């Protein structure tokens, strides 16, 4: 009997018993995950998120996906009829589900998830939504909305874990995908906005705290970022 491991090579247990054993373990793990998803999607989602966090804790930022209360707060101001919506770092889709529940149609949503495992899961769970496994800091290189710019962006990225230069690149790239009056919604577990004032001024943005979600674990604060208007009534170029 031959085994095929994640490395893609056929393995015979007599010639390489260690690889065969590992292949059998991986096969049982895949079977176990599939069975768990059938029995308890809620638990399977959290386990998937936890494994992604263990693989790259700096990029994930939390060991649990955001709760429903935070998801509702993040999308509360978004008008489903206003235009397309961009989501950064959707993870296992907590904010995606909130956007759909808000009334945003799948065809108006674009998800950007850099983690290949999470991106694959998102494509499976939301087959009608476009998912791009690209770096959010490079969004200006892609045409995500060919018809019209996005009306809003929802950011689930752990900005506080990222260097200031990376935060600058992500926000600049995000607002290139938004129309002039578009807004970017993000959250933090801290007290202050994850984008410091000097960075906001450099980008020509303003930040406003719109809600504190005590029902989330841990409690979170939701912030809204918009472009500053010049005295002439125009937005600044980023």
The CATH code of the domain that includes 112 is: 3.40.50.150
Residue 18 located in a structural domain:
yes
Helix, strand or coil, per DSSP, at residue 159: helix
Structure tokens at 6: 């994640």
Residues 84 and 157 in one domain: yes
Residues 72 and 162 in one domain: yes
Sign of CA dihedral 18, 24, 28, 31: positive
Residues 123 and 12 in one domain: no
Structure tokens at 46: 């959290």
Would you say the pTM of this structure is higher than 0.75? no
Average pLDDT (168-179) is: 97
Residue 232 located in a structural domain:
no
Residues 34 and 110 in one domain: no
Residues 198 and 158 in one domain: yes
Of 8-17, 135-144, 180-189, 207-216, the least confident: 8-17
Please answer whether residues 184 and 151 qualify as being in contact, where contact means their C-beta atoms are separated by less than 8 angstroms: no
* Total domains, the chain: 2
Average pLDDT (53-73) is: 64
Residues 85 and 39 in one domain: no
The residue segments making up the domain with residue 48 are: 3-56
């Amino acid at each position: 009997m031959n085994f095929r491991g994640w490395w893609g090579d056929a393995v015979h247990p007599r010639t390489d018993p260690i690889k065969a054993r590992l292949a059998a373990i991986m096969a049982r793990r895949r079977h176990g995950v599939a069975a768990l998803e059938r029995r308890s999607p809620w638990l399977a989602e959290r386990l998937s998120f936890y494994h992604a966090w263990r693989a790259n804790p700096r990029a994930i930022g939390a060991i649990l996906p955001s709760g429903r209360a935070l998801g509702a707060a993040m999308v509360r101001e978004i008008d489903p009829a206003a235009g397309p919506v961009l989501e950064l770092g959707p993870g296992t889709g907590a904010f995606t589900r909130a956007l759909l529940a808000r009334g945003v149609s799948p065809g108006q949503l674009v998800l950007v998830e850099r983690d290949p495992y999470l991106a694959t899961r998102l494509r499976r769970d939301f087959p009608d939504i476009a998912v791009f496994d690209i770096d959010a800091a490079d969004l200006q290189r892609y045409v995500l909305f060919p018809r019209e710019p996005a009306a809003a962006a929802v950011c689930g990225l752990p900005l506080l874990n990222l260097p200031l230069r990376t935060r600058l690149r992500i926000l600049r790239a995000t607002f290139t995908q938004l129309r002039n009056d578009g807004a970017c919604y993000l959250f933090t577990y801290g007290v202050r906005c994850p984008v410091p004032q000097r960075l906001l001024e450099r980008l020509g943005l303003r930040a406003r705290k719109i809600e504190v979600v005590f029902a989330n674990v841990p409690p979170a604060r939701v912030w809204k970022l918009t472009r500053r208007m010049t005295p002439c009534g125009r937005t600044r170029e980023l």
